Chain A
Amino acid sequence: MTTLLLLAPIAIPILGALCYLAAGWRPATTWVSTISAALVLAAAITTAVAIARTGPHIALAGLLRVDALSAFMLIVIGAVALLATTATPGYLRAEIAGGRATVRAAARHSVLVQLFLAAMALAVVAANLGVVWVAIEATTIVTAFLVGQRRTRAAVEAAWKYVVICSAGIALALLGTILLNYASSRAPGAPGLDLAALAAGAHGLDPGVTRIAVALLILGFGTKAGLAPLHAWLPDAHAQAPAPVSALMSGVLLSVAFSAILRVKAISDVALGTGFARTLLAVMALASLLLAASLLLAQRDYKRMLAYSSIEHLALVALGAAIGGPLALAAILLHILGHGLTKGVLFLGAGRILQITGTSRIDAVRGLGTRAPLLAGCVGLGILALIGLPPFSVFASELGIARAGFASALGWVTAAALILVLVIAAALVGHTGRMLLGRPPEGPGAATATRRLPVGTAIALVGGLVAAAVLGIAAGPLATLLHLAATTVLGTP
């Protein structure tokens, strides 16, 4: 029973992929991916409840291990996937109607998205650091063709950059994994690469080797999480990928990679003291924030704008991880979920704006509020949620990170980060305001697709915002899970 439950988040999307492979994209299979995402979410919630009662579960001869952090990440994957896949049918129909995709491309899209979900689920439930690495690299491979789906010059260029930078970056993490394995093979008890055993036996790891390994692992998984210095793939890939894929990449993929960093940090904190990982993460966070702020101020493309905002939010998560302590860790986990939902809504909305207007330039979109009020309203509210206005959950989590930051040794870093966050918020509001408000442009050529928002997309946009707001007002039963997950990362039960 337990094994089946743990396998479900991996097996269900694989079955979904097989279904699309066999039947293709047709009316009967349209909602298969949505159903699969809903089942993944249900399995994740069931797992979380079971874990809160009885502690971590192990399955498949120790290959899979689900603790509170994995269960939480599974919920994030399921929730954002549900949003993205609910909006997918409407998106793909408009693409096919607009001649930018074929039925075959739609089927391939669906197969790859399902495999993408399975790979991410494997990355968070694997018990072995090596398997985590394999799963995260697998996400690069399955999403490469999703990024290049439109086959334009820009899309092919983005896909190339994405695969080269991510594969090279993640190769650093592989080297780090190998070196950690080396250190662990000489440690008492030889814990191997099993994450739980490594965290428990971290005292015995050789500090010199572990230091190199941890630095490589954080840099390598940081590439996939979109942190500086190897972030260059992110804006291109997010801007060129189809909207539901951008939503998944920004909302979940980045944080799945970051959860691997959290695991590494738990080992590093015991083996090397908290200072090493803290300094590394704080520097990467500040560099990423600076970069996001400087490139957002004069941004001309709204999808790239959202992509840089993802760098900003992952930097905040990295800052929270650097601060450490139960409050900061619970806050960054809440931030991961809140950002996933909000950014998912925004990328889906941006995809729809692109379909209506045919351009991704900010200055070419005017007066969206009068042309498509529901879409504009959702995007507007989404941006407000993203910059951290109450009642949305990003407000609560940013507040948590800031409070923990000022109480810790990283007060000045937190202050600098908050100033950059304010600059970014001003830039985001300014750019979006110009798009949504004002008079619509005159003349023909402004409209290429039907104006009415597809029902699925509307449900996803409104549902995501409502979920983010509810999460901000009351975390409810999630609070227990957040607390448990935070203690998992702290390494002290």
Chain B
Amino acid sequence: MHPDPERELIGYATGALPEPERERVAAHLSACATCRRTVEESRAVLDGLAGGATAPPLDWGRYQAELRARRQARGRSRWWARPLPALVAAGVATAGLVLALQGLHRPGDLAPADESALGARLPLLQQYRVVERLDLLEDLDAIRHLDGVGGAR
């Protein structure tokens, strides 16, 4: 049976085959003129390409100057553009946004000014019986109308 030309013969021709396969293909080649010719022609092609092609000449001073200009135009990548810092920065920004949104949507909270005004009126509030029946001062509407209650007393 002939070796697979796409895997074994080209591997043999380029010296890429590992030892057990290489020996098996070599044994086959000693007895098969067709495969031997394929290997020889492949080697002839690869030898003919050896040394590579020569590109048209280039002004290397100009090349480096252009590269420097392109580099300066784009600038070095910012540290925050790198994967890990970018992830951390995104996480911090998201957490900040969530906290800010939570702060905006707390309807039960009082503004600092309202809290200080209530605190100033606490001694007055303690004079009213109705306050004793309020559940932890939750009924703000009732508190706001205490002045009227007091006037009616």
Q: Do A and B bind each other?
A: no
- Residue numbers of A with Cβ under 8 A of B are none
